[in-house]
Amino acid sequence: MLLQMERITKKYGNFTANRDIDFSLQPGEVHAVVGENGAGKTTLMRILYGMEKPASGTIRLRGQEVVFHNPLEAIRGGIGMVHQHFMLFPSFTVAENIVAGGEPGRGPWFNRKQAVSQVKQLGEKYGMPVNPEQRTADCSVGMQQRIEILKVLYQGAEIIILDEPTAVLTPLEVKELLKAIQRLASQGKSIILITHKLHEVMEVADRITVLRNGQVTGVLNAADTNIEEVSRLMVGRELAERVKSKPRPGEVVLDVKDLTVLGDGKPLLDKVSFQVRAGEIVGIAGVSGNGQSELLQALSGLRRADSGQIRLLEADVRQASPGEVRQAGLAHIPEDRYMWGAAREASVVENAMMGHQDRLHKSGWLHRQKISAMVRDWVERFSIKTSSLDEKAQNLSGGNLQKLIVARELAQNTPFLIAAEPTRGVDIGAMEFIHDQLLRKREDRGAILLVSSELSEIMTLADRILVMFEGRIVGEVSGEEAGEERIGLLMAGGERTS
């Protein structure tokens, strides 16, 4: 056995994040660790990587008991970790990021030519080619993740921990990553995969360890199980089968005509036109970078459109500020929870208040009891794991912060909701709950614009699906007739429909 973690326990005050967990890893194995948000997956791996110290338990690497006091010691032991949120220097080149900390050269002199050569060879060796001289800020998200993986390989990692590696990837990038994982395992690397996405687990994993509430509920051979059994072990119950009623679209809530946004003289949005009606969910599908972000920013007032029309109910909001758009009837679950959705240094309760503050004060004084009761209700209903309402948002797991933002925006009860990547990084149980909440808003005659990189999510929820390619809407497909092959062809710029 390459790695054994025995009876690992980790506590934070009165909260037990890991309780007597056993975990093992064999050479050349892909071992998935799955569980709901707050189940203890990342904590367990942070202990292995030397970022946390366990209260009790032992770690054996190649048969020898080890104690890693920091990540540097873990790296020296042949363990590398690719975090959910990348840790790269945007202004550095690809090669500079990969060799950082182990730069080739003599004395203080950095041999840039040698670094470029080594990185190019490394990418070719593991089937993950990169442009060593490209600036990292100019790389796609998928390419940045490839840089992170190559970085730990450059450091000599034999064990690679991947924490939610597909959370921000497009479907095509996900396929490429899964192939890379299988290729690395075939070359003798051992992979620990932390993820919520069970279809991906079943595709690449050899074994699966399931955690719930900080304890192991099962260790399964992937070949001998199925998604239903893993889901049941994760959430402790059978997932309900969702039945969606037929749409009954009513009045036009959002009316967009010939919307154009320019960037560097070329259109990022090119005369985009569509409507969203009360009582329907309209999905937007497309490979990342085809205008979805610019569309969301223009609709929410975060970016000024150059021409066209945006009407929200009776208001012309094309030139409106974000606050004015919200007053006109918009709630917004943003695509990037850290950049647009939350203040990291602010507390849970302060983040929850955002957008609600106008009705939570009297004569300038906040109703603290009313606010706390409201947020506690959200924490309970959305199963948000937090030590207290005063905990900083940056200390929440990505999935728990996402649930807080979704709860906050749904509670606005606005006529129109933008739901951008609403379940990004959340577990299967929370995903089920959020989907049900979106469908309930639809039943209550709300109008929803759903933007998601998860095609299955759009096909599950949307009544109509618009496909974007190179800043234009190139097709519309009804939710009932939607098929992955047809939508995928449109996303790639193929067959167009009117």
d(CA 434, CA 428): 10
Q: ∠ CA(116), CA(171), CA(498), 5° rounding? A: 125
pLDDT at position 44 = 95
- Identity of the amino acid at 102: G
- Identity of the amino acid at 423: T
d(CA 348, CA 390): 6
pLDDT in tens, the chain (498 residues): 899 999 999 998 888 899 999 999 999 999 999 987 778 898 999 999 999 999 999 999 999 999 999 999 999 999 999 987 788 999 999 999 999 988 898 888 899 999 999 999 999 999 889 999 999 988 887 889 899 999 999 999 999 999 988 866 766 778 888 999 999 999 999 999 998 788 899 999 999 999 988 999 999 999 999 988 998 898 777 666 666 788 889 999 999 999 999 987 788 999 999 999 999 999 998 877 788 999 999 999 999 999 999 999 989 999 999 999 999 999 999 988 888 889 989 999 999 888 777 666 666 676 778 888 889 999 998 888 888 899 999 888 878 899 999 999 999 899 999 999 998 877 777 788 899 999 999 999 999 999 987 788 898 899 999 999 889 999 898 887 777 777 877 877 765 544
- Please count the residues of the chain: 498
User: Going by DSSP bridges, is the β-strand pair 464-469/447-451 parallel, antiparallel, or unpaired?
Assistant: unpaired
Beta strands in 107-206 (DSSP E): 109-110, 159-163, 190-194
pTM over 0.75: no
d(CA 214, CA 205): 21
CATH 3.40.50.300: which residues of the chain?
A: 3-235, 252-491
- Write out pLDDT tens, residues 219-262: 999 999 998 899 889 877 766 666 678 888 999 999 999 999 99
d(CA 290, CA 294): 9
Torsion sign over Cα 138, 141, 145, 148: positive
φ/ψ (deg, to 5) at 184? -65, -40
d(CA 112, CA 400): 42
Question: Is residue 128 a contact partner of residue 146, using CB atoms and an 8 Å limit?
Answer: yes
**CATH of region 252-491, choose from 3.40.50.300, 3.30.420.40, 3.40.630.10, 3.40.605.10:** 3.40.50.300
User: Which ranges of 41-170 does DSSP label H, i.e. alpha helix?
Assistant: 41-48, 71-76, 94-99, 112-125, 141-154
Nearest to 488 by CA among 139, 166, 174: 174
Q: ∠ CA(153), CA(159), CA(164), 5° rounding? A: 90
If you compute the radius of gyration of the chain from its CA atoms, what whole number of angstroms results? 24
d(CA 68, CA 72): 8
Question: Is residue 465 a contact partner of residue 285, using CB atoms and an 8 Å limit?
Answer: yes
d(CA 229, CA 220): 10
**Domain 3-235 top-level CATH class:** alpha beta
